[in-house]
């Protein structure tokens, strides 16, 4: 596997995630799109690390830190989704127009 093929897969993940985040109205699908974009970014970083640094541990550490931050971000995001649903019975982004004011 070459660096170009890894970067193509990473770009595809980012593109699919961007489409999913921008086209969906459900909070869960929006967060899944964001997660796909972050996974694509991690794949690109790990690909660069593997092919350029030759296995230095800094690349692995960066990937683990990014995954930990992603897990915390998803937990906080889903907690906010649950709080909004309990408060306003809204599970779609279109039904939250009153939050602008």
> What's the number of domains the chain is made of?
1
Tell me if residue 26 falls in helix, strand or coil.
Answer: strand
Q: How far is CA 83 from CA 17, 35, 87, in A?
A: 24, 20, 6
Distance between CA atoms of residues 71 and 27, nearest Å? 17
Reported as a single tens digit per residue, the pLDDT across 41-93 is: 988 988 888 888 776 676 678 788 888 888 888 888 888 888 877 877 766 66
Residue 47: CATH number of its domain: 1.10.287.3510
Domain that holds residue 94: 3-100
Q: Note the pTM of the prediction, 2 decimals.
A: 0.74
Distance between CA atoms of residues 25 and 29, nearest Å? 7
């Amino acid at each position: 596997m070459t660096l170009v093929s890894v970067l193509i897969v990473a770009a595809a993940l980012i593109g699919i995630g961007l489409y999913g985040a921008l086209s969906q109205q459900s909070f869960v699908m929006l967060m899944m799109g964001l997660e796909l974009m972050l996974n694509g970014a991690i794949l690109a970083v790990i690909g660069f690390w593997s092919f350029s640094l030759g296995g230095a541990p800094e690349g692995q550490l960066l990937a683990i830190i990014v995954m930990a931050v992603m897990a915390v971000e998803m937990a906080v995001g889903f907690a906010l989704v649950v709080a909004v649903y309990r408060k306003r019975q809204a599970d779609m982004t279109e039904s939250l127009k009153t939050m602008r004011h």
